[in-house]
Structure formats: C-alpha cells, structure tokens
Chains A and B, each alone.
Chain A
Amino acid sequence: MKTQTRSRWWVVRKELDPSQSSILMALSFILPLVIWSVASYGPWWKVAHQVTVSAESPRLQSIYSVGDRLAPSVWKEFSTAIKEDNEEILAARKSGQPQASTARQNKKIVRQIHPIATVNGWLTREQELADDSIRKTWIDLAEGKLKATKEPLTVENLGVVKANAEMLTKAGTDWPTEALLKLLPQSSEEVSRPVYLVPPGVVAVSFWQGITATKPDAGEAGAERKTLLQRYAESWRTIVLGFLLAISVAIPLGLLCGTYDFASKLAEPFVNFFSYMPAPAFGVVLMAIFGLDLGPKIMLVFLGTLPSAILMISKTTRSLDGSLLEAAQTLGANQRQLLTTVVIPGVLPSLYKDLRLLFGTAWTWLVIAELLGFKSGLAEIIDTHGRRFQFDIVYPAILLIGLSGFFMDQILAYLARFFFPWMDQPKKGFLSRFFSGRARILGPAKQPVTSTPEAPTASPS
C-alpha cells in the first residue's frame, strides 16, 4: 500500500479501500447528526419565555404551568392579566370591600411559590401540596430569613410576598377569607424551537433515561405504568409472534408454489391480489374477531407480512438453478426426493435472506398493529406522547425501533456465514465491514477482527 500515494474517492463502479469505506460509513451517520445539531442549536430560533413563576386568572383561556414556553405575545397577555387581577384586588381592598375568596383559591395562590422555592432549595420537590411548609416559606421569605441563591424573585413579587405573608400570619392556621395577591409571572428566556425539533442532546438524555429506568415511567405523566424496556419487550413479542405465525404459513406455501406450477397457479394470483389490500384496513375486522388484546396486533403483523412472504419465497424457490434439478433427476432422484434433497436445501440461504428482509418489513407494521385495541408497546408511547407534543419521549421510541431493525438485520446477515458455510463468502454487512475497516486503520498489523472463519478446508474433519 506504500506505493499508493493518494487514494481516489470518485471512481465509477470501483470499490474504495477499507479505510476509505470506513470513513464514509461513519460519515453517513455523522452527517445527519451534524445537520440535526446545526438545525437545533443554530442561532435562528426566536427567544421564548419559559415560565418560572406562574399564576392563574379567569381572564385567561389557558392555565400556564412552570416550564411552559410562551411566545412573547402570549407572555404579555399572561403577565398583563395577572397584573390586572392584582390591581383589582388592591382596588377592592382600598375601597374597604375586599374580594372574598375560598380557602382553595388562596391555597392555589400560595402554592404557586413552590417551583421557585424548589429551585432555591427552600422546599423539596415532594412538598408540592404541603401547605404548612409552603406557608412557612412565605412568612420566612417576608421576614428575610430566606435568600434566593439561584432564581431570585422580582422586587414586585417580594412586595406581594410581604403583603400576603402579613395576611397569612394574621389568619393563623386558617386560610384568609380575603383574596390574596397573586405572584406575578416570571420567566427565563429560552430558545423557542418548533416542538418537533428536539435537540440531539435532549433526545440522547431521554433515551438513556428511558432505557436505564427501573421504575415504571417515573415522574412521567400518563397512567401507563411500564418502563420503556418493558414496552420494548412488548413490541418484540408482538412482532416476533406475528412474524413467526406468518412465516410458518408462508414457508410451506411459498415452497409449494415455487416448486409446483399447480400450487403456483392456484394460489399466487389471489395472494398477489390480496397483497394490494393494505393490512391496516383490516384493523377493525381483526379487532372484531380477535378481541382487543394481543390477538389483533399479532394478526395485523401476520396479515401484513404473509402475502409478500408467500410471493417472495415462491419467487426465490423458482429461481433455484434448474440444472441442479436436472442433475438430480439424471442421478435417479424421484419427485419427492427432488423436493426434499434439492429444492429445500438449495433455497435455504436465499430463504434466510428473504426472511431477513421480511422481518425488516414486519417492523413497519408494528406501529399500526400496536394501536389496535388496547394500545401497547413502543407505539403507545409514540401515539400518546406524540399527541401531547412530547417529542423528547417520542423520538427515543422511534429510535429504538430503527436501531432494533437495523442491528437485527446486521446480526442475522453476519450469522448467515455460520449457518451456510458452503456458500461463497457473502458480501460483508455494514457492521463487519465497518469494524474490520476500522481495525485496519487502528492497527495495520492486526487481522481484521470479523473476518470470516475459513469454511472447512481440505482437511477431513
């Protein structure tokens, strides 16, 4: 390789050398990642207000919680509304006819301090509803016993704190019957990306939290109490059962159709027609027949996979080299022996490859299948959280499906060489290429780690 001073990158129909290949294969993943990062972290996204102190007002249609991101116009409407509420309360007090208020209304006003109190370490996260501690915080704050270390309250809000603390102290252990002042909304400025554009860092963290979570959906809204991995296992169960069912029908049928013209003419026209009817269209029927649990999901994967599996396997069977069959006939094989000793062993490697591809397509049915009846598996996350625009949770689930399909295929491709040692070395898959290529870059003297073990050579075993 020393003589080769410069490798050329663009040559028509010529394979690049392994190190070049590895670089490009790594880039094929890195480039989209870079585009994603640039898009998310680029300077073009407007600033939004992320609420740090919230309030409620009858003037507003919506309730804004801490963490919500608001467009500047909405923020203005929000702060103005609360300001007006406070002005009304003060005006009423001045006029000597203070606004009355229920205990609950005041309780809710007082609780609004909890998030910022948590940030500053005055309260713990769990004390959200611990009204006594929260009241104590107001009073301590008013007396100057507490100092904001991380997120200060505005001067106006400190005024509100003092005014309210006075009333709370006066009320003793009861709740004041007069309306308390509301804390004015505070916010921090945050980048406002479109909801669907979740930065890679956030997705990575969410993915990691998801797969390492041991408690079911800890702290997560939604009553479905399962961890991401449990859902992932559910998805696997659905897809594997559906797929196994499909191929256990498709393999015998496909072999028959590919071997006997009789079977082919009898079955394939209809199967071909059937394959044009989208499986999801039968969703309602499947629910009516198989209930709402696992049944319709498995059957959808089954129905989605079956027609193409039959057609593919019969085509594969038909493409078996005819001269092998003729050779076997001249060697005295009868019809049954042709099937068992030539057709079946002959098509196995191509069949294996077909099944690999079919398993890949089975994943595409999974999401639709899991939404039939009781939602389950990863699709439930995608559907439920997608509707709530929680794309930071949706993307890891999608990612998991993608990764599973991809690695499953690579692993199966890699295993083929052990199942079929009699095949010419199959073209190496992405993984083994990548790693062997990298091995060559890292340590030129080393043997490629994933090189195929030589198929049994001349020595008798």
Chain B
Amino acid sequence: MKINKSILLAAIVGLSSFARLAAEPLKIGYSDWPGWVAWEIGIKKGWFKEAGVDVEFVWMDYVKSMEAYAAGKLDAVSVTNGDALVTGATGKPSVCILINDFSNGNDMIVAKGEYKTLKDLKGKTIALEEGFVEHLLLLKGLELNGMAESDITIKNTPTNSTPQVFASGEVDAIGAWQPNSGQALKLVPGSKPVFTSKDVPGLIYDGLFCDRDSVKTRRSDWLKVVKVWEKIAEYLANEDNTDEALAILSERVGVKPAEYEPLLAGTKILSSKEALKAWEKADGLGSIYGSTKVVDDFNVKYKVYEKPADVDSYLDPSLFKEVMDK
C-alpha cells in the first residue's frame, strides 16, 4: 500500500505534471493497428532490454493515445502521418523517426451487401472517426469517384466501436482499420469493402512520432528504439517466424492467429531497403514526404485545420539513416 499512497499523493499535488526526469523510461503509446502491434514482438522477446533502452509501451485506444501525447503524457505515439499533422495542428507537434509500414488494404470502407461500390453510398450514412485517418481515406475515395463529402452523412464513431455500430444496422457503411474492419465484415453477413487503402497505397504511412525535444535530448535512446524496430521488421519478413509472430500479435488484440494472418498482408511492413526509399524526398505517394504533403494539402482543403503544416519538420530520417550506416 505504500505505492498507492505515493501515487495518491502524486495525484493530489499533480506532481506527475512536472517535468519528467531523464532517468524515466521512454513512454510510447501504441494501439491496435497491425503495424504497431508488431512492437509487441520486441516487447515480448525482450529486445529493448537487450538493446539497453528503457521503454514503456502503453496500450491505448488510437485517439486516446493522441490525446495523451498532446497532453504531454507520452514521449512518442504511434500514428499515421496524416494524424500526426492533425495532432500537431490542434495539440502538440511531433517528429517521425521511423516508418513502420504503409497501409495496404487494412484501412477500409466497409459497406452492407447491397452496395457494390463507393458510388452506391451516395446519400448514405457512414460511421467513422471524424478528422482522422479513415476520414481521410473516405474523402480520398470520394474524390477519386468524383463525389463530394456532402454526398454522404458521417456519424462520428470511435473506430473500435464501428463493428458494433455496423452490426446494429443503423449505418450503411463504416470506415475502420483491421482488426476492427475484419470484425465488422464477419458480424454483418454479405458486407464487403468498397474502398481500401490498397486502392491508394502510400496515402497512409504509419510511424513512430516523437516529442521533438525528447528526440534532441535523448537521441541515443531513440536510436536504440529504431534499431529494435529494424530487428522486428527483419524477423517478420522471415516466413519461418510467422506462426510465432501470429501468436504474439493476435493475442494482443484478442483475435485468433489464423484470423490475424491476412492482416499482415494488408499492412506493408517496410524492410530497411524499402524504408530507405520511402524516406527519400520526392513527390507522390511513394515517399513519406510526398504522401505527407498530399495529406497536408488535403487536410487544409477539407478544413481539418486551417494553415498548411511545415511538413519537413515532421519528418526526421537522420536516426534511421544513422542506424543503417552502422
């Protein structure tokens, strides 16, 4: 009970809001996106300890993790490049030091059986989390299909509640990522994805976005984190490890291993070679710079926030490159 008392005391005086000591572990928020669940491999296998870095991974709902980051409770948060801009514009800016993956089908707009394409959803209701990644995906999809946001009605729903909302039959479609979208598909017989991130590969990059000061002051620690990630990516690329990896990943989100396997295909985890290419400055969705720029323009156009962001300040390939050079 001694610990409780001290926690209580801390709660009363709000000590926790004071500056963290350097000796504290790096606090990293992560949520149920397969590319981030992959951190679990490093955690379970003790690779962080091996690398000599003290990290604490905090499992949270996606939006809550962004809120926690904005409130200064996390040193880094796992988000998409687009949502990092949103969080930066409304809460606290961050900088990406590593790319986990790009979404390759796991972000979906799932519609009831009677709608064959995104166009059929004209005038219908779609449940998704407003202002965040699935919203972006939907808007992009509408644009590609020559439609406008006003053609559909959006119901703001937390992503991990979308399966239930979809199952209730009150909406015609949902926007969600795996495993939520998969659950939705399973719950509503006949439903299918009408638009996925596979249709726009590279629109959604998923990365580790860190507190900018922390990257400066604790660069050596962050380098170690990047190194562990490269080890995880390498591990996942080897098919011999698939069974073990699936067991670890699926357990984290409460899905059966066999059901989790397809999710790995929908999330393109980047090998170090692929990552190096994505870090190259270029236009278009093949580069995280190009992708982030596209998303930024998009966000401004759709008034997610007012002013364009300084895209370059959100991206810092130097740590990744330093690890690669060694």
Contacts and interface: CB of A to CB of B under 8 A. Distances in A.
Q: Do chains A and B touch in the complex (CB under 8 A)?
A: yes
Interface of A: 56, 61-65, 71, 73-74, 77, 103-104, 108, 129, 221-223, 237, 241, 245, 284, 287-295, 298-299, 373-374, 384-385, 387-389
B293 interface: no
Contact of A387 (B64, B161, B242): B161
Contacts of B193: 61
Contacts of A298: 8, 11
Nearest to B189: A74
Contacts of B239: 103-104
A444 B42 CA distance: 68
B14 interface: yes
Interface residues of B, number: 47
A1 to B, nearest CB: 52
A287 B189 contact: no
Contacts of A389: 164, 187
Contacts of A288: 17, 71-73
B16 A295 contact: yes
Interface in B260-306: 261-262
Most buried by B among A221, A287, A291: A291
B4 interface: yes
5 contacts: A65-B256, A241-B8, A245-B12, A289-B16, A292-B73
A292 B192 contact: no
A71 B68 CA distance: 41
Contact of B73 (A61, A64, A77, A287): A287
A62 B256 CA distance: 12
Nearest to A221: B254
Contact of B254 (A129, A373, A388): A388
B191 interface: yes
B254 A104 contact: no
B258 A56 contact: yes
B306 to A, nearest CB: 22
B243 interface: yes
Nearest to B161: A387
Contact of A237 (B4, B58, B255, B258): B4
Contacts of B202: none
Contacts of A384: 254
Nearest to B192: A61
B251 interface: yes
Given A223-B59, A241-B4, A387-B161, 19 more contacts: A62-B259, A63-B256, A63-B259, A63-B261, A65-B256, A65-B259, A77-B189, A104-B239, A129-B243, A222-B253, A237-B4, A241-B8, A245-B12, A287-B67, A287-B73, A289-B16, A290-B11, A292-B60, A388-B183
Interface of B is mostly: helix
Interface of B: 4, 7-8, 10-12, 14, 16-17, 40, 58-60, 64, 67-68, 71-73, 160-161, 163-164, 182-183, 185-187, 189-193, 239, 242-243, 250-256, 258-259, 261-262
A288 B68 CA distance: 7
B254 A222 contact: yes
A418 to B, nearest CB: 26
A299 B13 CA distance: 12
B7 A387 contact: no
A288 B70 CA distance: 9
Contacts of A292: 58, 60, 68, 73
A402 B190 CA distance: 39
A221 B187 CA distance: 19
Given A374-B60, A387-B163, A62 B71 contact: no
Given A63-B262, A65-B256, A373-B68, A221 B73 contact: no
B264 to A, nearest CB: 11
Contacts of B256: 63, 65, 221
Contacts of A65: 256, 258-259
Given A61-B191, A387-B164, A293 B7 contact: yes
Contacts of B16: 289-291, 295
A50 to B, nearest CB: 15
Nearest to B256: A65
A289 B182 contact: no
A291 B239 CA distance: 40
Given A61-B191, A387-B163, A289 B252 contact: no
Contacts of B71: 284, 287-288
Contacts of A387: 160-161, 163-164
Contacts of A64: 186
Q: 4 nearest interchain CB pairs?
A: A295-B11, A221-B254, A288-B71, A291-B16
Contacts of A385: 254
Nearest to A61: B185
Contacts of B186: 61-62, 64
Nearest to A220: B254
A74 B251 CA distance: 26
B11 A73 contact: no
Contacts of A241: 4, 8
